[in-house]
Amino acid sequence: MKINGVQPTFTHNDRYATLPLASDVTSVALGSRDAHRRTKSCTSHPVTDKMGEAEETLKRIDTHKGVIGTIVVNAEGIPIRSSLDNSTSVQYAGLLRHLTTMARSTVRDIDPQNDLICLRMRSKKHEIMVAPENNFLLIIIQNLCE
């Protein structure tokens, strides 16, 4: 019997062969040792899980009330994830990278044991938050009044 066009590969228990939903197939496949080895839908790899978590977090921030855009910038200053258009992302990434470096050196000049956690700039039109971490930057632009 095919479920959503896919023939289930587990055979040791006939009870599972009558499930109507594809999601049930996956959860049952993960619970069954034989099917787990054969199924291709298993995604419990640690790197994939972490990426999924990161994507989910970005999505949650993006859909937050008042958020105009989110940009993730890598160590080379290239935006790797952005909810804005490419030219704006590249402009923000470049400018904010320099500013963050300067803010970090300001904090360290005052106290060498200290380090920057977050930079928030409020302007007339919106607010920009920058969180540096491991040479990466998370930039969030949000509206003022929300």
Q: Residues interacting with other proteins, by CB under 8 A?
A: 91-92, 95-96, 98-99, 102-103, 106-107, 109-111, 113-125
- Cβ proximity to other proteins: between 6 and 95 the closer is 95
Residue 101 C-beta: closest distance to other proteins, Å: 10
- Report CA-CA distances (Å) from 128 to 8, 92, 93, 108, 123: 50, 10, 12, 22, 8
Closer CB to other proteins, 76 or 111, in the complex: 111
Pairing state between β 67-73 and 79-82: antiparallel
Q: Whole-number minimum distance, CB 90 to other proteins, in Å? A: 12
Q: Which is nearer to other proteins, 7 or 123 (CB)?
A: 123
Q: Which two tokens stand for residue 65?
A: 């009330």
CB of 145 to other proteins, least distance (A): 13
Side-by-side strand order, sheet with 79-82:
79-82, 67-73, 136-143, 126-133
- Give whichever of 30 and 99 is closer to other proteins, judged by the CB atom: 99
CA distances, 109 to each of 22, 50, 95, 96, 97 (Å): 58, 35, 21, 20, 18
Q: How far is the CB of 21 from other proteins (least distance, A)?
A: 47
User: Residue 8's CB: how many other CB atoms inside 10 A?
Assistant: 18
